[in-house]
Structure 1
């Protein structure tokens, strides 16, 4: 399990609104990043918790996103076969998350 914290000063309502507005094209954006077919499934469990599952290249990467007052937490369950890509996955989450929160 890898946890990534992205700090923000937007408030949970603004972060939630931004995420909801941009999640619609998540599969298309993931495919562009990975260079192939990727699927992203998202489901809001409640106002502050999102389940996100990315499937690509035969792997499924489940994650939980928690909105907090001053940060967004990503708990990512990286499969054993993708341990080599841990740094790349973290880098993509940080880059895309920071753009969202900027």
Structure 2
């Protein structure tokens, strides 16, 4: 397994950041690089999820804080070679979700 972790700063506050992430994940379902969320559970400010990508199950976690969002995923061996690419995609998509509008 390869752990990919990204921290994205924001100035939205915890509630607005969580709202944007939830809304963005609903819109992205199935449309984000073939990624599908198969399970997601929010407990407080943390979402634990399982995603499907390229026929693989990818567990992860999103932690929403007052000034940042941390996204961590565990890539299986099959996808570990793509860790840097995945990190860049996660960071870019996360920043788009959290942009000030």
TM-score by shorter chain over 0.5: yes
Deviates more, 1:45-54 or 1:77-86: 45-54
Corresponding residue SS for 2:31: helix
> Displacement, 1:86?
0.5
> Displacement, 1:43?
2.2
1:47 equivalent in structure 2: 44
Structure with more contact order per residue of length (Cα contacts < 8 Å, sep ≥ 6): 2
Distance 1:51 1:66 in 2: 9
Which protein has the bigger helix share? Answer: 1
> Structure 1 regions of 5+ residues with no counterpart?
none
Distance 1:42 1:101 in 2: 22
Match among 2, 6, 9 for residue 8 of structure 2: 6
Q: CA RMSD in A?
A: 1.6
Q: 1:72 to 1:98 in 2, by over 3 A?
A: same
> Displacement, 1:42?
4.5
Asked whether 1:22 is paired with 2:28, we answer no
2:61 equivalent in structure 1: 64
